[in-house]
Amino acid sequence: MSQAPPSRAPRVRRKHPVDEVPPAGMLALYGVQHLLAFYAGAVVVPILLAGAIGLSDRELIHLINADLFTCGIASIIQSVGFWKIGVRLPLLQGVTFTAVSPMIAIGLAAGGGTDGLLVIYGAVIVAGLFTFLIAPYFSRLIRFFPPVVTGSVITIIGLALLPVAAADAVGGAAHPEPGNARNLAYAVGTLALIVLIQRFFRGFMATVAVLLGLVVGTLTAWVLGDATFSAVADSSWVGVTTPFYFGWPKFSVAAIISMIVVMLITAVETTGDVFATGEIVDKRIGRKDIAAALRADGLATTIGGVFNSFPYTCFAENVGLVRLTQVRSRWVVAAAGGFMILVGLVPKAGAVVAGIPHPVLGGAALAMFATVAVVGIQTLSRVDFNDHRNVVIVATSLGLAMLVTAQPGVVDAVPAWAQIIFGSGITLGSITAIGLNAVFHHLGRGRGVALSGAPGRGQIRLEDVNAMSLEEFTATFGKLFQGPTSVVQNAYTQRPFPDSTALRTALQEALFATSPEEQRALMNAYPALGGDAVADGTAGEQSALDQRTAGLTQLSDEDHEALRELTTEYREKFGFPLIVCVRDTPSRERILAQGHARLQNSATQEHAAALIEIAKIAGHRFDDLVAGANPIHSARTQRFGSTAL
> 399 versus 632: which is more confidently predicted?
399
Residue 386: half-sphere exposure toward Cβ, Cα within 13 Å: 24
Query: Which of 625, 631, 630 lies closest to 452 in space, CA to CA?
Result: 625
pLDDT in tens, 570-613: 989 999 988 888 877 767 788 888 888 888 999 899 898 889 88
> Which class for 121: exposed (0-12), middle (13-18), buried (19 or more C-beta within 10 A)?
buried
pLDDT in tens, 454-464: 444 456 677 77
d(CA 286, CA 294) in angstroms, rounded, equals 13
- Choose from 53-57, 135-139, 397-401 the range with maximum mean pLDDT: 397-401
d(CA 585, CA 589) in angstroms, rounded, equals 9
Contacts (Cβ under 8 Å, ≥6 apart) of 271: 142, 145, 150, 153, 290, 293, 294
Secondary structure class of 159 (helix, strand, coil): helix
Secondary structure class of 315 (helix, strand, coil): coil
d(CA 79, CA 289) in angstroms, rounded, equals 12
H/E run at residue 313? strand 312-314
Query: Which of 613, 612, 638, 644 lies closest to 624 in space, CA to CA?
Result: 638
pLDDT in tens, 105-114: 778 777 778 8
pLDDT in tens, 17-67: 888 888 888 888 888 888 877 766 666 677 667 766 777 767 777 787 888
Confidence of residue 128 (pLDDT cuts 50, 70, 90): very high
Evaluate if residue 630 carries a pLDDT over 50.
no
**For residue 513, how many other CB atoms are within 10 A of its CB?**
13
DSSP letters for 426-468: HHHHHHHHHHHHHHHHTSS-----EEEEETTEEEEEHHHHHT-
Query: Which of 260, 279, 49, 310 lies closest to 158 in space, CA to CA?
Result: 279
Percentage of the chain modeled with pLDDT above 70: 81
d(CA 302, CA 244) in angstroms, rounded, equals 12
Contacts (Cβ under 8 Å, ≥6 apart) of 274: 87, 89, 91, 285, 289, 290, 293, 314
User: Average pLDDT of the chain?
Assistant: 78
| Averaged pLDDT, 177-183 | 77
DSSP letters for 248-295: S----HHHHHHHHHHHHHHHHHHHHHHHHHHHHHT----HHHHHHHHH
d(CA 407, CA 164) in angstroms, rounded, equals 14
Determine contact, residues 385/633, Cβ cutoff 8 Å: yes
Give strand pairing partners of 93: 314
Rounded alpha-carbon distances, angstroms, from residue 153 to 396, 402, 431: 12, 12, 9
pTM for this predicted structure:
0.56
pLDDT at 40: 60
d(CA 132, CA 150) in angstroms, rounded, equals 22
Confidence of residue 361 (pLDDT cuts 50, 70, 90): confident
d(CA 214, CA 216) in angstroms, rounded, equals 6
- The 10 Å CB-count burial string (b at 16+, else e) for 546-571 is bbebbbbbebeeebbebbbebbeebe
Determine contact, residues 243/111, Cβ cutoff 8 Å: no
Determine contact, residues 297/266, Cβ cutoff 8 Å: yes
148 torsion bin: left (phi>0), alpha (psi -120 to 50), beta (else): alpha
Secondary structure class of 543 (helix, strand, coil): helix
SS3 labels along 373-431: HHHHHHHHCCCCCCCHHHHHHHHHHHHHHHHHHHCHHHHHHCCHHHHHHHCCHHHHHHH
